[in-house]
Amino acid sequence: MNLSSLPDPSLYEIALQAQAASTPLQISPATFKSVISTTIDLLLEQQIQAVLWVKLPRTEAWYGDIKRYCSSGLSAQPIHVLHYQKEEGIEDLVPEPPQESGIEDGEKGSTLSTPPKPKQDPLINGGGIAGNSLESWLNPQNTLIGSVESGPEIIPIPLTSSSQLRREYFLLVISERFCSLLLGHRPRSMQLTRPDINLGQAAAIAPRSSSTGLAQNSSFEEEVPERKQPLLAIYSFQGPILAQVLQRIRQVMLPEVPDPDVDLLVSDTGIVQDAEGGQIHWNTFQAICAAHQPDPNLLNAIASKQVQHYEELWNRTTLYRRQAEAMEGLQLQNEALASAIRLKDEFLSNVGQELRTPLTNMKTALTLLNSPQLKPAQRQRYMQLLSTECDRQGSLISSLQDLVQLEHAGDNMSMQALHLNDILPGVVSTYQPLAQEKGVMLAYTIPESLPPVSCLSTWVKQIAINLIHNGIKFTPTGGQVWVRAKQQGDYLQLEFRDTGIGIPLPEIPKIFDRFYRVRQVEDYGGAGLGLTIVQQILLRCGGSISVKSKPGEGSTFNVLLPIYKNAGESTGPLL
């Protein structure tokens, strides 16, 4: 592709043809901005007086480094700021509220600017040229707001509306000691991510404007996609390339700009004036660029600064990431605490309700017992009600005490080696009278060869008491309740099976909730905490519990208890 044949070449195409590189340079707007900062840092550190030609997204964030150079006092020459004039139907700027630059103005020699906050920089965060107008950050004297009063003059240079520079940004530095060009071009294609295309192809894939220079929706703001786009970039220190770019800039200036053949001169030590009062011909700039030979020491310095910049940026990013992770951890802790407080409130509310119910029933029974017309049979019924409600109250208080003890036990309890044959037969014998009274067969099978489990004796008893009691309570006359034990890998399985009324499938996930009772026609009493206590015990000793049930056929509760092992071989909690 012959770029010179294009009717209106962009600066990128001009530099591309002169450079003849084989590998495209594709960078993010954030990287482009960081290289600007590095270039200004070099000028300040090396005390280089230079003429600057600038075209950047028109927000204060992007011009912070230019203001910093102005404030240093090194730049006695004007700063040339290229921009587009507003024309009917063409808005070069999208007005936005003032934005903070995120850059410490006047910090001489700084190697790292404060990163801009998200959404403050539309180009970096996915937008296009947006922000305040050029006049909003230039005062009436054409100096940058925030720069020193004696700073250089800012010369706004309007460009022709048909120019291809509309999609380009650059910083051109001209001095006899150091010349450089940082040029970024945003192609009209949505993304450029293929690493195998060469620079000529990269330029070719960007659609050209119409013959008038303004295709439909060609203004930059109208084409900006919502997602962030990379820039095709050139970073050059080669004088001939800079000279051609400067010549192209001259061609796209509006004719009403003051005579572009007149400007200021750069000398050996910086900026000097000629015999006619400080003005020389425009071609002198191009001559300086064309004759420029890059100083290896300055190239090493700018490369070192850029590496240092990325290192500091990496360290800062790492710090921000750690802070974000810590913040996320704190947020999770806060949510956990809020959830715990909510559960405590619900628990206290349920406790109050459970305590109130038996008290209300007892108060009613006592009131009725005072009636002089009360018959003996009624008196006996009310006395039985008082006894039942007292038992219910006592069961609730005992269960609450058990839960509190479990809460305070923590997760670091020293487990014991326990043989089930030493515990379960005694519990079964205790409940035999209750089972016989109800007409329910209660039996157990515990092989003597089973290894010991890792738990506490009181906890194993509580597990057996709650599950055996539930089995008898919900099994009608003529039913059966069995307790069996067997080894299953690193655990002993305790099976509590009954032929009772069973549990509806939708209610099985809820039976371990505090105060939950299966909704049945008959009220079987109880505090509704037995299964909760069993589950909490097993969580603390590394065990688990599961249930299978079918209404009308009965339920089977399977408890897994970890087998006791010597120190260093202990089994962790079953997840």
Secondary structure, 3-state, 322-361: HHHHHHHHHHHHHHHHHHHHHHHHHHHHHHHHHHHHHHHH
Which CATH number does 411-575 carry? 3.30.565.10
Nearest of 270, 237, 315 to residue 39 by alpha carbon: 237
Residue 325: pLDDT over 80: yes
Binned at pLDDT 50, 70 and 90, residue 559 comes out as very high
Query: Tokens at residue 194, please?
Result: 């293929």
Contact 435, 500 (CB under 8 A): no
Other beta carbons less than 10 A from residue 349's beta carbon? 11
Quick one: pLDDT at residue 520? 55
Secondary structure, 3-state, 168-229: EEEEEEECCCCCEEEEEECCCCCCCCCCCCCHHHHHHHCCCCCCCCCCCCCCHHHHCCCCCC
Question: In degrees, to the nearest 5, what angle opens at C-alpha 12 toward C-alphas 7 and 18?
Answer: 90
Secondary structure (3-state) at 556: strand
Boundaries of every domain in the chain: 3-294, 324-409, 411-575
**Burial readout 148-157 (b: 16 or more C-beta within 10 A, e: otherwise):** eeebbebbeb
Binned at pLDDT 50, 70 and 90, residue 481 comes out as very high
Quick one: pLDDT at residue 123? 44
Mention the CATH class of domain 324-409.
Answer: mainly alpha
- Element at 546 (helix H, strand E): strand 544-550
DSSP-derived secondary structure for 425-485: HHHHHHHHHHHHHHT-EEEEE--TTPPPEEE-HHHHHHHHHHHHHHHHHTS-TT-EEEEEE
Residue 137: pLDDT over 70: no
| Average pLDDT, integer, range 491-513 | 89
pTM: 0.47
Query: Could you report the per-residue pLDDT of 150-205, keeping only the tens digit for each?
Result: 566 778 888 777 667 888 999 999 988 899 999 999 887 644 444 444 434 444 43
Tokens 């109050």 locate to 352
Name the burial class of residue 126, with classes exposed (0-12), middle (13-18) and buried (19+) by CB atoms within 10 angstroms of its CB. Answer: middle
Other beta carbons less than 10 A from residue 448's beta carbon? 7
Binned at pLDDT 50, 70 and 90, residue 567 comes out as low
| Average pLDDT, integer, range 39-45 | 91
- Element at 547 (helix H, strand E): strand 544-550
What single-letter DSSP state applies at residue 151?
S
Query: Could you report the per-residue pLDDT of 330-348, keeping only the tens digit for each?
Result: 999 898 888 878 877 776 7
Query: Could you report the per-residue pLDDT of 247-281, keeping only the tens digit for each?
Result: 888 888 765 545 444 444 433 333 333 434 434 45
